[in-house]
Structure 1
Amino acid sequence: MTSIRVTGLRVRHRRTLALDSVDLDLGTGVHGLLGPNGAGKTSLIRVLATVARPDAGRVELLGEDVADHRGRTGVRRRLGYLPQEFGYYPGFTVREFVAYVAWLKEVPAAGVPAAVERAVARVGLADRIDAKVRTLSGGMVRRVGIAQAIVNDPGVLLLDEPTAGLDPEQRVEFRELLRELGGTATVVVSTHLVEDVAAACTEVTLLAGGRVAYRGTPGELTRLGADTDGPGDHPIERGYTAALRAHRAHGTREAVR
């Protein structure tokens, strides 16, 4: 089942075309969104999260056209979103903050306490659930951000650079959580870390210059890298570079496979 359908998406920031005629269909699983700085990853995530509106094109989430006010409102209850920099109330405890987001998502009141405890436990902060957010380390705050994004058991989960500030052990645990979440939800992870995509994602979309440059599985991208001597310590890193170069060489809107 397709949870995210994007057709002809165009986003402009002043004189810069951030996304140019992007088409995507994404279903259940973990989808990695890769690309160099300025490729349009955050612009795409923001449109999918319904916090930014496109200049052209159509976006459907969970069967709803988000251009429609009623559809957009309904979808927001079923979304989870972690931006690169998320706002929070430092005086709140972890429990209070995640519960507040659950309330915003209209999680039934009777189920909020259990939903909060479950979300916080899944990100490894059960022992800090009653700590003030302002007392936490940067990595812990990032995990609070992940907890608030999953507290409503979203059908679509959008994560922008979610592993920023996490140590290697926490990143491994986070990948395991992603694989679990991807069993029932459509998870989109925007990241610069190719190794996270290789370890956790079922599909990869590579953006370059606001266009889709490549779509495939991590295995396919790895095999692409195995056939090249380009830069990178791992075949998937070489595949990433090879796909970018091929797209630029073609000078076309068509994605490389």
Structure 2
Amino acid sequence: MTSAVSVHSVSIHGLTVRHRRTTALDAVDLSFGTGVHGLLGPNGAGKTSLIRVLATVAPPTAGRVELLGGDISAPTHRTSVRRRLGYLPQEFGYYPGFTVREFVAYMAWLKEVPRAKAPAAVERAVARVGLADRIDAKVRTLSGGMVRRAGIAQAIVNDPELLLLDEPTAGLDPEQRVDFRALLRELGRTATVIVSTHLVEDVAAACSEVTVIGGGRVAYRGTPHALAALAAEAGAEDFGDNPIERGYAVALRHHRSGLGGSAGWGAGR
């Protein structure tokens, strides 16, 4: 694994993303360092727009984004970053006739993993997601959950310094999700991992920090433990089925009410 990256491997200043007449992100300031960071928020909150900008597949409308030590508006640095990051979108393309090995190897080639190291890197990535016994199976023969795991394998084949995952546990069964959380914690020891999800239990189990996005702005930033404590502080025992779910609901309601501003609330907008 690549050695630990700088304290803030992701620094975002005034990030705005607009899609025609819709503002997906509104002057957001955020930073992320080594560890596992969860992004929570309702549909349309701006989570996927943020992940896509960080993956360098979508440009910001305004603002400055620095990844792994440089501004991604510079083409040479943007190209360098793409070799050093891993990205799993909600929907990803693949050739169904490829085997798992061929699919992950192709992605390793795109990321310029050295040819001599690529075969071992592919086998290691596939084993880490529990597909070693299906490595030579055609992707078209896999279940939806297995395809998702193959997608995770391609995202980590280059031992990324920055790993971006958009709804990575969709289609995984409970046992696979437990294994995936353990993998996230392992990766987060030396890399910056950002996970966008609707599953608050994944955030509670794997993330050291959580950011709640609402209406294109930051509604809350803090630890999962602190987020879970919000519900108790607010006396909101009917907002969800577990403490972190209730805290998430409280954070969003507080944000929507326009009362943000104290520590933890609306940090970085």
TM-score, normalising length from structure 1?
Answer: 0.98
In 2: Cα distance, 1:166 partner to 1:25 partner: 29
What SS does structure 1 have at the residue aligned with 2:124?
helix
Q: What residue is the counterpart of 2:4 in the other structure?
A: none
Which residue of the partner structure matches residue 245 of structure 1?
Answer: 253
Cα distance in 1, alignment partners of residues 113 and 212 from structure 2: 34
User: How many residues align structurally?
Assistant: 257
Residue 114 (structure 1) aligns with: 120
TM-score, L = length of structure 2: 0.94
Matches of 1:118 and 1:226 in 2, distance apart?
43
- Residues 9, 20 of structure 1: 8 Å contact kept: yes
Question: Helix, strand or coil: the match of 1:51?
Answer: coil
| Contact kept? 1:212, 1:253, Cα under 8 Å | no
Preserved contact between residue 230 and residue 242 of structure 1 (Cα < 8 Å): no
Give 2:185's aligned residue.
Answer: 179
2:163 aligns with 157
For 2:252, the aligned partner's letter is L
Match of 2:202 among 196, 201, 219: 196
Q: Indicate whether 1:4 and 2:13 are aligned.
A: no
Say whether the 8 Å CA contact 1:7–1:21 is kept in structure 2.
Answer: yes
Contact 1:211/1:253, CA 8 A, preserved across alignment: no
1:86-125 deviations in whole A, cap 9, x for unaligned? 0001100000010000000000000000000000000000
Question: Can you list the C-alpha shifts for 1:186-212, whole angstroms capped at 9, x where unaligned?
Answer: 000000000000000000000000000
SS of 2:257's partner is: helix
Deviation beyond 3 Å, 4+ runs, structure 1: 251-255
- The equivalences for 1:26-105 within 5 A come to 26-105=32-111
Please provide the CA RMSD for this pair.
1.2
Consecutive unaligned residues in structure 1, runs of 5 or more: none
Once the two structures are superposed, the pairs formed by residues 124-139 of structure 1 within 5 Å of their partners are: 124-139=130-145
- The structure 2 residue matched to 1:233, chosen from 217, 229, 241, is 241
Report the Cα distance in structure 2 between the residues aligned to 1:218 and 1:125, rounded to whole angstroms: 30
Cα offset, 1:226, TM superposition: 2.6
**Percent identity of the aligned residues?**
77
Contact (CA 8 Å) 2:23, 2:216: kept in 1 or not? yes
Aligned-partner residue type, residue 140 of structure 1: M
Query: By how many angstroms is 1:177 displaced?
Result: 0.3
Equivalent residues of 2:254, 2:260 under 8 A apart: no
Structure 2 gaps, min length 5:
1-6
Matched residue, 1:140: 146
Deviation at 1:159, TM superposition (A): 0.1
